[in-house]
Chain A
């Protein structure tokens, strides 16, 4: 029994990592209507800023704040300088541009910091506590707590604030939004800035476990995309639930199904995602998109 709980707990702490990036994907999707592949690159770049600061002796919390500010500015600048040229055009072109940004940002991070992974200090004490016979690290608990707060904040932002309403409107129909006087370009810039700032938090949360390197989030991005899609792409709660699901299923399959083991376990959650999406194409928590002609 305690082994089972341990496997589930480990799965949840992996899921928390996927959830961090998945939330950022959901945020930028709701704010711009795009799936943004540059998300991972922006998060890594901002995390490297925090890394450079901690190496210079700055406390982790201050470094995190600096990384968040840097991320916000980076996201805003990328929108202004690069993405604005693709707005109003074919969304596919814009998505390809975000992939280009991912490659560029990863390359720039490598240029400054190299490709080897470096250890990264944790925001939370490096201890574990006992829970029903399993060991849970305070780091995982802290990460999950921060994520739940962010999830709730995003839900509130989109559902109950004027800014959230404006961002949803712009993502859906930029032209009509502009005709209603919404400052479309500025709102998209804020959306990108917020997504990158959130990426910075995610990066700093997961870097202690993954070790920081330019490719740190490459595989996480795959899981996070799966989680965001499974959750419904526009639902912060859905993204977190789906990420937890993916983390736990993956770990359980690896631990209990002998023929799967550690090598094949990555495939299990994706098979589950495919099956679920066949049954519920809008995702677990996504709203059905209505189109009428």
Chain B
């Protein structure tokens, strides 16, 4: 059974329909990518899953239709969404941001262990533990956003353009940590990226969106072998 499955999902902001029937599925312990140009509907697809936009169609999580549930409810079920633009809580310290991530958990000791784990995963954050999130660099904020999502002990992390606005070497470091997280913590992921090279370092398969529709989908190796995909997303 798939962990997460979208069936013919549409979404609109007011009268502007952005998704015209998206379907894809994410297996247990899998990682799938959503690729596509600006405005293709990648971010909206993630927002649809976590209940931030109105949708039609079915969104099944662990076999249960979760469409219509708000973001705090989907978070409860085990869906952690790292939004575009990072979405850290600016006036809270790095440590407090991590604790907010763990808000729904009761296992105090394990929370402390997990804080140590993410600080080990992102050594930059270790040095800034008491700083306000707003005072961090862009790369550090992105690391904090990923770390906060992990602190919820989710079944799946929705990752929206984690490389946006980062220097290539910083983006690489963020993705290296994400790869580590995927394998060490056994958390599934839906990865939205414009930079397909980064996305393909994490995911097993991917779906390419074009103006709110699925243009093609396939395994990582299939997609990387296609000329059209290479030209559009892999720089040659």
Contacts and interface: CB of A to CB of B under 8 A. Distances in A.
Contacts of A289: 91, 134
Interface residues of A, number: 22
Contact of A181 (B76, B88, B91): B76
A172 B76 CA distance: 21
B90 A169 contact: no
Contact of B91 (A177, A178, A183, A287): A287
B206 to A, nearest CB: 23
Interface residues of B, number: 29
A28 to B, nearest CB: 16
B90 A291 contact: yes
Nearest to B135: A290
A128 interface: no
Contacts of B104: 181
Contacts of A287: 91
B70 interface: yes
Contact of A165 (B70, B80, B100): B100
Nearest to B136: A292
B103 A292 contact: no
Given A168-B92, A180-B148, A181-B72, A173 B103 contact: no
A182 B100 contact: yes
A169 B72 contact: no
A166 interface: yes
B89 A172 contact: yes
Interface in B103-145: 103-104, 132, 134-136
A175 interface: yes
A179 B71 contact: yes
Nearest to A290: B134
Contacts of A162: 99, 103
A175 B87 contact: yes
A182 B132 CA distance: 20
Interface string B70-105: 111001100011010001111110001001110110
Interface string B175-198: 000000000000000000000000
Interface in A162-208: 162, 165-166, 168-169, 172-173, 175-184
A182 B87 CA distance: 14
Contact of B135 (A168, A176, A292): A292
Contacts of B70: 178
A173 B97 CA distance: 11
B72 A173 contact: no
Contact of B103 (A166, A175, A290, A291): A166
A225 B27 CA distance: 55
B135 to A, nearest CB: 5
B152 interface: yes
Given A169-B100, A179-B71, A290-B135, 19 more contacts: A166-B100, A168-B91, A172-B90, A172-B91, A176-B87, A176-B88, A178-B75, A179-B50, A179-B81, A180-B80, A181-B72, A181-B104, A182-B72, A182-B103, A184-B72, A289-B134, A290-B91, A290-B132, A291-B134
15 contacts: A162-B99, A168-B91, A173-B90, A175-B52, A178-B71, A178-B72, A179-B80, A179-B81, A180-B80, A180-B100, A180-B103, A181-B72, A181-B76, A287-B91, A292-B135
Interface of B: 50, 52, 70-72, 75-76, 80-81, 83, 87-92, 96, 99-101, 103-104, 132, 134-136, 148-149, 152
Interface of A: 162, 165-166, 168-169, 172-173, 175-184, 287, 289-292
